[in-house]
A and B are shown apart, each in its own frame.
Chain A
Amino acid sequence: MMKVGRFFIKLLILLMVLLSIAGCWNRRELDNLAIVSGLAIDKAEESEKIQLTAQILKPGNLSIAAAGGAGDGGRAERPYWNLTETGNTVFETIRALTHKSNRRLFLPHNEIVIFSEDIAKEGIQKYMDFIIRDHELRRLIYVLVSKGKASEILESKTELEQIPAISISQLIEVRDATSESSAVNLQEFMNRLMSKTTAPIASLIEVVGKEKTALLMGTAVFKKDKLAGFLGREETRGLQWVIGEVKSGIIVVDCPNGKGKASLEIIRANSKITPEIKDDTLHIKVEINEEGNLGEEMCSVDLSKPEVWMSIERRKAVVIRKEVMAALKKAQEWNTDIFGFGDAVHRKYPKLWKYIESQWDDFFPSLEVTVIVKAKLRRSGMITKPAKPE
């Protein structure tokens, strides 16, 4: 009898210990959460201070097709709430937002973090710290730089999605269709930031027109953690070619007969960066292998002829090469190793790297880069000859 009693007492003690040692012990109901979907960090008017805008979802105002009960009254209102606060540090400001919000901010569903151009120029490492350190924020959130005020991006008008932040994160995800803008998540940004030579990049976003539509413009390039400049769309693809991030896209070339243009779809592409030492100087060889299909021709060349076919391939390679060289030119101009050449040299010549490492900034601008493009045309769609009267 006594044994059983003692057993239960032991069990009780064990349970109490178990309850008290449990780590993350905060239960929060779903309706007490302010779900943050996007963060924007601007410079405050006061010096040394930041202005932080959080986009908070208002689930009640989201029109969910089947919910019905939510009512039409809610539809008139915006389903999000942009909350702005200024403060000295990011964490402080986020907490300070609860002066206005009756619910505590819930960050794990945050999808994007936008830095304004002017704050990026001053360096974003100090603001990045909280975003990387805090357990609630994911490593998969996209890092963006805005031309103009970052908070305005979160105000932009969206049509298909109801939440601007979610719309922008999807915008970044469909960049695969063109490969003309960068998609950089926190993890990649962090890796580049921590690298001694490789320069961080971020997507570039801008609000344009009266409609206030947000659109991706290209890439923001950082030197260390300070904004160095912007790459346009073509230069961005030039960068993507080298780092092997091109997924798809359209390359427009002139037709072999000189009349009209042809668009070629990129099917797959990969790249290889090989550092070489020739005559005691460091060369970088970039090999790009591309395969694509002919998607459209606005001229009337007969593709059944191999020389036409090869001519298009050659023209395509020239375009790719041009894009890469444009990106390279900008990068060398700003002395930002966005391609990761430094890391490639480190991997291939680890002993040599020790001497180069500290002087990489002197090496990079004058680095000789050979770009070899192997572009292949695979298929020509449903027809070989264009449909036209002979």
Chain B
Amino acid sequence: MFGFLFKKLQFWQLLNQRNSGKQNGNWQKSSQTSLSRDLKENLKVLKSILGTSNDIVIREFSFGYDEKINASIIFVDGLTDRMTINESIIKPLMYDTHLFDSRELLTTNNIDIIQKSMLSVGDVKIVTSLDDVIDGCLSGDTVLLINGSDQALVISSRGWESRGIQEPKTEAVVRGPREGFTETLRSNTSLLRRKIRNPDFILENMQLGQRTKTDICIAYLKGVVNPKLVEEVKYRLKKINTDAILESGYIEQFIEDAPFSPFATIANSEKPDVIAGKLLEGRVAILVDGTPMVLTVPMVFIESFQTSEDYYSRPFYTSILRTLRFISFFITILAPGVYVALTTFHQEFIPTPLLITMAAAREGTPFPAVVEAIVMGIVYEILREAGIRLPRPVGSAISIVGALVIGEAAVSAGLIGAPVVIVVALTAISSFVVPAQSDTAALGRVIITISAGALGAFGIIIILLAGLIHLCTLRSFGTPYFSPLAPLSFRDLKDVFIRLPIWAMFTRPRTIGWHDPQRQEFRQIPAPPQDSEKVEQPQGEPENNSNMKSQTGVQGLKRPRKIGNKDT
């Protein structure tokens, strides 16, 4: 049966390949051609390509001495900054050309003069092919075509309505920066650049999606990152051949290592400080225009249990929180399964008073425990989904229906036992503690509940072991997914179940940042100044700036005694 399905899929793929060739035909043809010297000819071609859309503005005008030079600018209304076009492109051309020697302007290479001396815009490029003209035009630049020249100027004039930088709703923090990425690629890269002021911080551009031409940006920290990892990311990105990239999730699904695994092998975040921290550990970030979700590779499983705030707060409570997150994760995947296993197979495990209470609650309920657990699990998922999709004003309806009707009424009507409601509620709350794995947890929970209903604790163990084996086999861009636990790296346990103080985290994670393992200098534990140190302090200044590597510590590395020297 599977063989048949796969054959069918293959056939589809072949068919699509043939069709796509046909469909893309007229587009590809035009892109090969270069501009002609005749402005009218050029405009005609451009109109035929861009023509009918009403947001394309083609402004024809003439300038120069006696207005002898015919020219035209093309831009997309809404994507461009009108002020720039009016003040910095049209105005200098129409008013200030009189200042130039007319004969010089009329020569064939006048386009150079215009680029170099007449336009007061930061970024101006000369292009020759029609493809580049259209590309520039659609990405918000203004194209200047001049009669008699087979070159065109692509003048940067991007400016569109965009959401301001806001606090991300998905990753709220109590302590730490509140800014989040937006939908604009440029502003996102600027947020990162502001965090990492370092020439080694590299941003590489790319365009993906044959039809959408979405800008993609690969960010990494040269010297820290493994160059092979960058190569691999680029290779996988280049292999993507699709028509549209609307969100970073598209890319994630194209380049991930284990597409059939329930575990995500590519991490994402909305927060610049999180991404900066990961870049500094030696990861590569993939920014996609049009989404605030930035991807980072490679991902390890433990990453899901770390939050940016862990590093900003002091280590003691943070370490408790870490443990709590692991416990919550286990609760959220195991609680219904354990409940089912205990009540239907291993009643002898339950302490007698608890058993009596549970038995009293189960008295007279019509369904088996496993059915109860699964039904309540489904009900919870429905409530959650409805809560997300509901229009805000009717949001309170959900809580009333959820709490009163399903929780209270179902129990008092004797349809389900009270313990299962408690179990499902506990599960639901716990799943929000580790948001990065909540999808996986929901899936695992269902599987474990069913197998617990069939085999009891034996079933739970089977699924857990299978899950563990699977986790250990996974790799994300060459990095073992379960590291630093498997393969075990004692050094990296500093940031797993507990978090050591920042000054004690000397090294980057071994499996990711091995290219430049040392993050900071040793012996930075803060202490009251000793007499000998007080004298030496001023002498330590000059070497501070030269040692860039140790300054680029992850997650706000603090060097207590030298912090004042940063600006010198």
Contact A60:B364 (CB < 8 A) given known A5-B2, A22-B455: yes
Interface residues of B in 492-531 (CB under 8 A from A): none
A136 touches B348 (CB 8 A): yes
A28: which B residues are within 8 A, CB to CB? 344-345, 347
Q: Please pick, from B6, B347, B454, the residue contacting A4 in the complex, using a CB distance under 8 A.
A: B6
B359 touches A30 (CB 8 A): yes
Interface hub of A31, A35, A37, A60 (most chain B Cβ within 10 A): A31
A29: which B residues are within 8 A, CB to CB? 343-344, 362, 368-369
A18: which B residues are within 8 A, CB to CB? 462
- Please give the distance in Å from A363's CB to the nearest CB on chain B: 44
Q: Please pick, from B6, B359, B455, the residue contacting A59 in the complex, using a CB distance under 8 A.
A: B359
B356 touches A62 (CB 8 A): yes
Q: Please pick, from B1, B7, B363, the residue contacting A60 in the complex, using a CB distance under 8 A.
A: B363
- Please give the distance in Å from A262's CB to the nearest CB on chain B: 40
Q: How far is the CA of A69 from the CA of B343 in the complex (A)?
A: 21
Q: How far is the CA of A33 from the CA of B10 in the complex (A)?
A: 55
Contact A30:B369 (CB < 8 A) given known A1-B3, A5-B2: yes
A166: which B residues are within 8 A, CB to CB? 352
The chain B residue sitting closest to A69, CB to CB, is B412
Q: Please pick, from A8, A22, A33, the residue contacting B359 in the complex, using a CB distance under 8 A.
A: A33
Q: How far is the CA of A56 from the CA of B229 in the complex (A)?
A: 67
Q: How far is the CA of A60 from the CA of B364 in the complex (A)?
A: 9
Q: Is B308 close to A, CB under 8 A?
A: no
What string of 1s and 0s marks CB contacts (under 8 Å) between B401-418 and chain A? 000000000011000000
B2 touches A30 (CB 8 A): no
A35 touches B355 (CB 8 A): yes
Q: How far is the CA of A139 from the CA of B363 in the complex (A)?
A: 29
A27: which B residues are within 8 A, CB to CB? 344-345, 368, 453, 456
B352: which A residues are within 8 A, CB to CB? 37, 109, 111, 166
Q: Is A19 close to B, CB under 8 A?
A: yes
Q: Is B100 close to A, CB under 8 A?
A: no
Interface residues of A in 19-56 (CB under 8 A from B): 19, 22, 24-31, 33, 35, 37
Q: How far is the CA of A6 from the CA of B459 in the complex (A)?
A: 24
Q: How far is the CA of A30 from the CA of B454 in the complex (A)?
A: 15
Contact A108:B357 (CB < 8 A) given known A1-B3, A19-B455, A166-B352: no
Q: Please pick, from A5, A24, A70, the residue contacting B3 in the complex, using a CB distance under 8 A.
A: A5
B344: which A residues are within 8 A, CB to CB? 27-30
Interface residues of B in 339-397 (CB under 8 A from A): 343-345, 347-348, 352, 355-365, 368-369
Q: Is A2 close to B, CB under 8 A?
A: yes
B360 touches A70 (CB 8 A): yes
- Please give the distance in Å from B342's CB to the nearest CB on chain A: 9
B362 touches A31 (CB 8 A): yes
Total chain A interface residues with beta-carbon distance under 8 A: 34
Q: Is B458 close to A, CB under 8 A?
A: yes
B360 touches A64 (CB 8 A): yes
Q: How far is the CA of A92 from the CA of B209 in the complex (A)?
A: 76
The chain B residue sitting closest to A33, CB to CB, is B347
Contact A109:B360 (CB < 8 A) given known A19-B454, A27-B456, A30-B369: no
- Please give the distance in Å from A78's CB to the nearest CB on chain B: 14
Q: How far is the CA of A35 from the CA of B348 in the complex (A)?
A: 10
A19: which B residues are within 8 A, CB to CB? 454-455
B456: which A residues are within 8 A, CB to CB? 24, 27
What string of 1s and 0s marks CB contacts (under 8 Å) between A56-87 and chain B? 01011010100101100000000000000000
B2 touches A35 (CB 8 A): no
A30 touches B7 (CB 8 A): no
A31 touches B363 (CB 8 A): yes
Q: Is A360 close to B, CB under 8 A?
A: no
B369: which A residues are within 8 A, CB to CB? 29-30
A59 touches B363 (CB 8 A): yes
Q: Please pick, from B3, B357, B364, B458, the residue contacting A31 in the complex, using a CB distance under 8 A.
A: B364
Q: Is A106 close to B, CB under 8 A?
A: yes
- Please give the distance in Å from A82's CB to the nearest CB on chain B: 17
Q: Please pick, from A30, A67, A69, the residue contacting B347 in the complex, using a CB distance under 8 A.
A: A30
Q: How far is the CA of A64 from the CA of B343 in the complex (A)?
A: 19
Q: How far is the CA of A166 from the CA of B358 in the complex (A)?
A: 17
- Please give the distance in Å from A190's CB to the nearest CB on chain B: 19
A108 touches B345 (CB 8 A): no
Contact A30:B343 (CB < 8 A) given known A1-B2, A1-B6: yes
Q: How far is the CA of A35 from the CA of B353 in the complex (A)?
A: 12
Q: How far is the CA of A25 from the CA of B348 in the complex (A)?
A: 15
Contact A4:B2 (CB < 8 A) given known A30-B344, A35-B355, A109-B348: yes
A108 touches B360 (CB 8 A): no
B364: which A residues are within 8 A, CB to CB? 31, 60
Q: Please pick, from B357, B365, B411, B412, the residue contacting A64 in the complex, using a CB distance under 8 A.
A: B357
B343 touches A2 (CB 8 A): no
The chain A residue sitting closest to B6, CB to CB, is A1
A67: which B residues are within 8 A, CB to CB? 357, 360-361
- Please give the distance in Å from A158's CB to the nearest CB on chain B: 15
The chain A residue sitting closest to B455, CB to CB, is A22
A35 touches B462 (CB 8 A): no
Q: How far is the CA of A29 from the CA of B1 in the complex (A)?
A: 38
A29-B343, A31-B362, A59-B363 known, 16 other contacts, Cβ within 8 Å:
A27-B345, A27-B453, A27-B456, A28-B344, A28-B347, A29-B369, A30-B343, A37-B352, A59-B356, A60-B363, A64-B357, A67-B361, A108-B348, A109-B347, A109-B348, A109-B352
17 A-B residue pairings within 8 Å (CB atoms): A4-B2, A4-B6, A24-B345, A24-B456, A27-B453, A28-B345, A30-B343, A30-B362, A31-B359, A31-B363, A37-B352, A59-B360, A59-B362, A62-B356, A64-B360, A69-B411, A109-B352
- Which residues of B line the A interface, CB within 8 A? 1-3, 6-7, 10, 343-345, 347-348, 352, 355-365, 368-369, 411-412, 453-456, 458, 462
